[in-house]
């Protein structure tokens, strides 16, 4: 393969480096208006009364729309494929604007004006009178009996689920040691570089056209149709360049309202780009979870049972809802074997910003719990934590008892060996560094992560390839380039499958649901595998058609031909017979046989390969301040074959950056009385910047996954997953203190150190 496996430059590198890539906020359409949203100043209750007259009177205001003006039906927002089974559809609990307030920042009204400043000014002139209720800001409060319901009839419980395999009671008895733990994760925000935004207009034929920064153009199209109550075919979603999503744009957050607003102003374009504050509050956050774990082990370290009770805080609206903790539950059973396992879960509504998809989709929470817990077990047994994991790993070829996913390739044991070697595990683990103000420790954690959502959900990929007259191809995909590099990876796959140089693969930098084939989009680390499968199949079909035509042109049987570097060649000798451009010209212009060569593939992928990996980290804890410095960090991945090493490295570096923020710094905070978000900006909400970011190394143990288009497995989300527990475990190693609540802020660690005294025994 000429391109897969090599670090070809991103196909959008030049556009982005020169500032010519067009993002939503760059879009300026003739006559475009600007919208701003009025958000609630309470977290729970109702709007009793609203007066928009003064706002409407401001020159330049074109429309003021409130909850009174929007359709009465509700719609869902989650970026899942639609389900034919009504019971499996996402919960439709949103109005475009709402009178009922469910979190501080709920959307009450919108102003459309000739510019942003006028729209902002008009917001200030809207008078709202509320009927306020005390907000329910945590799961305990929300689940107390007699508590008012955030969504009527729910008891504030969005959904419950559970499973168990094996005989837990028997396994309980077989355990020599039983270990319990309770792990708590916080609310964080994806903080994509680009805020959420959309521009909507009616096209001359009366269809709604929405330019939006989304991970899910085709799903977004459906949701807009649902929200407006119009046929989905009358909606066209155009995705320009996207400045990151990380799951936050796997919801239709701003698009339905932008689409509605253009219909209010006669189809004039309306731009609705959220300010950063609105993006923090009004889009999607990661579910906070409380995870209670109980495990039994034999003296030799083998697990007899594992029980997890997980509560997931969903915030105000359903969005992805219970699917997140449900995935936590699946991951819970997929890394380690045990005689029995039980999982119980509940997703709870609270009067906080809505939680949805975010990189890892339930994995960072559950892996923080289970991998912290593994160290707790190792500590209880006096066993090396790596060894404990090694002896409990599922064997290669293991089949999940529920979803039947097979661990085709599973190089986690090799990842552990590599990580141990890289960080110098044994030496650092046994070195006594128990004294002094700065204490060092090493820790690690593992993860597994699926590639796509099969079998929990539908996995359809699609690609269309058209051979141009010059032997180049147009590659159209429904997969969404959101900065992660999918256009590049898919171009690499196409170029190799076709046997042409990658600069002869033209992929549109802008995606359009009216033209691109249907693919649900960028989530679940699925695109290179699922969409890549469609691209490869389409490329193979085009190649076969080229070779068929070349057979006529050369007199050599198609089966003896191949394509290499833009030439039809003899498969064996490699001799060049005819350039692809000549075959292409023949396909367009041969008077007898002209028929353009193209393939349009829609494939239903029914496999799912688990990616694996681990984080090894050395920390230094300043016992006087509670600050944690990362000295060395290695993320070792089994993500199958790496399609583009530099792009893969980028995924790991970015994932670790998010993982370290999750471990140490990041948390969205709410005022305990009002529910207002206290830090909805990048000054007060601390993400790790380039200055803060430590030296991190990525390693790839390349296995060859047979179910994937080029041996590849998930890599978009995995790098974040095992970072926080590895850091937590290293701090445990350095200080003997278990911090089981994220983030492990200096404050939290300082008080824990103070409570325990300053000289503490190191863990073994």
Binding stretches for a second copy (CB under 8 A): 11-12, 14-16, 18, 20-22, 26, 28, 30, 81-84, 203-207, 222, 225, 231-234, 267, 458, 460, 462, 464, 466, 468-474, 476, 504, 506, 508-509, 512, 514-515, 517-518, 585-586, 588-596, 598, 600, 602-604
**What is the chain's Cα-based Rg?**
27
- Smallest gap from residue 460 Cβ to a second copy (A): 5
Nearer to a second copy, 81 or 217 (CB): 81
Inter-axis angle of helices 746-756 and 723-735, to 10 degrees?
30
- Smallest gap from residue 199 Cβ to a second copy (A): 14
DSSP per residue, 217-255: HHHHHHHHHHHHTS-GGGEEEEE------TTTTSB-SSH
Nearer to a second copy, 99 or 476 (CB): 476
| C-alpha–C-alpha distance, residues 447 and 393, integer Å | 11
Q: How many residues does the chain have?
A: 764
- Smallest gap from residue 239 Cβ to a second copy (A): 14
- Smallest gap from residue 252 Cβ to a second copy (A): 15
- Cβ atoms within 10 Å of 447's Cβ, excluding its own: 33
DSSP per residue, 89-111: SPP--B-SS-SEE-STT-EEEEE
Nearer to a second copy, 90 or 290 (CB): 90
Q: Which of 746, 732, 668, 747 is nearest to 186 (CA)?
A: 668
Which residue(s) pair with 343 in the sheet?
A: 163, 308
Nearer to a second copy, 301 or 450 (CB): 450
Nearer to a second copy, 131 or 514 (CB): 514
Contact indicator for 330, 364 with CB cutoff of 8 Å: no
Nearer to a second copy, 464 or 637 (CB): 464
Nearer to a second copy, 82 or 693 (CB): 82
User: Tokens for 204?
Assistant: 């001359």
Contact indicator for 190, 245 with CB cutoff of 8 Å: yes
| C-alpha–C-alpha distance, residues 611 and 533, integer Å | 17
- Smallest gap from residue 472 Cβ to a second copy (A): 3
Which residue(s) pair with 273 in the sheet?
A: 197
Q: Cα separations (Å) of 115 from 24, 34, 53, 60, 272?
A: 16, 5, 19, 8, 11
- Smallest gap from residue 518 Cβ to a second copy (A): 5
Dihedral sign, CA of 136, 140, 143, 146? negative
- Smallest gap from residue 232 Cβ to a second copy (A): 5
Query: Given 3-state DSSP classes, what are the helix, strand and coil percentages for the chain, each rounded to the nearest 5?
Result: 30, 25, 45
Nearer to a second copy, 474 or 625 (CB): 474
Q: Which of 390, 377, 442 is nearest to 416 (CA)?
A: 390
- Smallest gap from residue 9 Cβ to a second copy (A): 12
- Smallest gap from residue 581 Cβ to a second copy (A): 8
Q: Which of 442, 749, 738 is nearest to 623 (CA)?
A: 749
- Smallest gap from residue 267 Cβ to a second copy (A): 8
Nearer to a second copy, 330 or 392 (CB): 330
**What strand order describes the sheet that includes 561-564?**
561-564, 567-570, 576-579
Which residues are within 8 A (CB) of 122 and not within 5 positions of it... i.e. 6 or more apart? Answer: 36, 55, 56, 58, 61, 64, 111, 113
SS3 427: helix
- Smallest gap from residue 541 Cβ to a second copy (A): 11
Q: Which of 143, 141, 181, 622 is nearest to 373 (CA)?
A: 181
- Smallest gap from residue 15 Cβ to a second copy (A): 3
Contact indicator for 77, 252 with CB cutoff of 8 Å: yes
Nearer to a second copy, 487 or 562 (CB): 487
Contact indicator for 44, 276 with CB cutoff of 8 Å: no
Nearer to a second copy, 89 or 756 (CB): 89
- The reply to whether omega before 743 is within 30° of 0 (cis) is yes
User: Tokens for 240?
Assistant: 């320009």
Nearer to a second copy, 14 or 404 (CB): 14
Nearer to a second copy, 222 or 733 (CB): 222
φ and ψ at residue 273, rounded to 5 degrees: -110, 125
Nearer to a second copy, 458 or 564 (CB): 458
**What strand order describes the sheet that includes 511-512?**
61-66, 107-113, 33-39, 270-273, 197-202, 208-212, 235-239, 511-512
DSSP per residue, 380-414: HHT--HHHHHHHHBPPTT-B-TTT--B-S---HHH
- Smallest gap from residue 607 Cβ to a second copy (A): 14
Which residue(s) pair with 107 in the sheet?
A: 39
Nearer to a second copy, 238 or 724 (CB): 238
- Smallest gap from residue 117 Cβ to a second copy (A): 21
Nearer to a second copy, 519 or 618 (CB): 519
- Smallest gap from residue 31 Cβ to a second copy (A): 10
- Smallest gap from residue 483 Cβ to a second copy (A): 14
């Amino acid at each position: 393969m000429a391109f897969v496996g090599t670090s070809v430059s991103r196909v959008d590198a030049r556009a982005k480096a020169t500032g010519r890539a067009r993002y939503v906020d760059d879009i300026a359409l003739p006559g475009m208006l600007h919208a701003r949203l009025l958000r609630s100043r309470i977290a729970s209750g109702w709007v009793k009364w609203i007066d928009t007259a003064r706002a409407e009177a401001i020159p330049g205001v074109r429309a003021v729309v409130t909850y009174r003006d929007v359709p009465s039906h509700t719609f869902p927002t989650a970026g899942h494929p639609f389900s034919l089974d009504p019971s499996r559809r996402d919960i439709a609990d949103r109005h475009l604007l709402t009178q009922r307030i469910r979190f501080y920042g709920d959307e009450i009204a919108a102003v459309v004006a000739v510019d942003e400043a006028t729209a902002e000014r008009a917001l200030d002139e809207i008078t709202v009178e509320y009927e306020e209720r005390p907000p329910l800001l945590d799961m305990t409060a929300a689940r107390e009996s007699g508590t008012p319901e955030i969504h009527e009839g729910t008891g504030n419980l969005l959904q419950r689920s559970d499973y168990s395999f094996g005989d837990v009671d028997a396994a309980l008895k077989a355990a020599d040691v039983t270990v319990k733990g309770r792990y708590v994760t916080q609310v964080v925000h994806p903080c994509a570089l680009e805020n959420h935004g959309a521009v909507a207009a009616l096209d001359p034929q009366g269809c709604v056209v929405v330019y939006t920064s989304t991970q899910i153009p085709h799903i977004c199209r459906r949701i807009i149709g649902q929200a407006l109550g119009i046929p989905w075919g009358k909606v066209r979603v155009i995705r320009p360049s996207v400045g990151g999503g990380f799951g936050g744009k796997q919801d239709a957050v701003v698009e339905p309202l932008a689409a509605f607003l253009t219909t209010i102003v006669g189809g004039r374009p309306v731009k609705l780009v959220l300010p950063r504050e609105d993006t923090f509050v009004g889009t999607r956050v990661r579910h906070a979870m409380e995870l209670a774990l109980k495990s039994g082990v034999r003296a030799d370290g083998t697990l007899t049972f594992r029980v997890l009770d997980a509560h997931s805080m969903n915030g105000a609206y359903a969005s992805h809802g219970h699917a997140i903790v449900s995935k936590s539950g699946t991951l819970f059973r997929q890394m380690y074997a045990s005689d029995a396992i039980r999982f119980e879960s509940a997703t709870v509504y609270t009067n906080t910003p809505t939680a949805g998809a975010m990189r890892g989709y339930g994995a960072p929470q559950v892996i923080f719990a289970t991998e912290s817990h593994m160290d707790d077990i190792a500590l209880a047994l006096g066993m090396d934590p790596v060894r404990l994991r090694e002896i409990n790993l599922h064997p290669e070829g293991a089949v999940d008892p529920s979803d039947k996913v097979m661990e085709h390739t599973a190089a986690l044991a090799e990842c552990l060996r590599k990580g141990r070697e890289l960080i110098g595990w044994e030496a650092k683990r046994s070195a006594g560094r128990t004294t002094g103000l700065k204490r060092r420790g090493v820790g690690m954690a593992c993860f597994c992560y699926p590639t796509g959502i099969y079998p929990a959900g539908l996995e359809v990929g699609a690609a269309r390839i058209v051979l141009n007259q010059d032997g180049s191809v147009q590659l159209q995909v429904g997969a969404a380039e959101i900065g992660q590099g999918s256009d590049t990876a898919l171009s690499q796959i196409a170029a190799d499958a076709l046997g042409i140089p990658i600069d002869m693969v033209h992929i549109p930098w802008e995606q359009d649901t009216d033209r691109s084939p249907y693919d649900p989009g960028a989530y679940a680390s699925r695109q290179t595998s699922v969409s890549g499968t469609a691209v490869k199949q389409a490329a193979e079909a085009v190649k076969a058609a080229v070779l068929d035509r070349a057979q006529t042109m050369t007199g050599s049987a198609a089966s003896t031909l191949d394509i290499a570097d833009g030439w039809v060649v003899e498969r064996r000798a490699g001799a060049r017979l005819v350039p692809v451009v000549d075959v292409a010209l023949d396909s367009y212009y041969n008077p007898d046989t002209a028929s353009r060569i193209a393939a349009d593939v829609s494939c239903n992928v029914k496999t799912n390969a688990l990616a694996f990996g681990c984080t090894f980290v050395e920390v230094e804890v300043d016992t006087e301040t509670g600050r944690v410095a990362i000295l060395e960090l290695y993320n070792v991945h089994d993500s199958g074959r790496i399609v583009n090493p530099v792009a893969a490295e980028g995924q790991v570096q970015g994932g670790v950056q998010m993982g370290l923020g999750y471990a140490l710094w990041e948390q969205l905070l709410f005022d305990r009385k009002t529910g207002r978000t206290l830090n909805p900006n990048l000054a007060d909400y601390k993400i790790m910047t380039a200055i803060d970011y430590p030296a991190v190394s990525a390693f790839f143990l390349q296995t060859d996954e047979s179910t994937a288009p080029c041996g590849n497995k998930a890599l978009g989300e995995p790098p974040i997953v095992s970072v926080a527990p590895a850091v937590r475990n290293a701090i445990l190693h350095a200080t003997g203190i278990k911090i089981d609540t994220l983030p492990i802020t200096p404050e939290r660690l300082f008080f824990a150190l103070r409570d325990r005294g300053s000289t503490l025994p190191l863990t073994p």
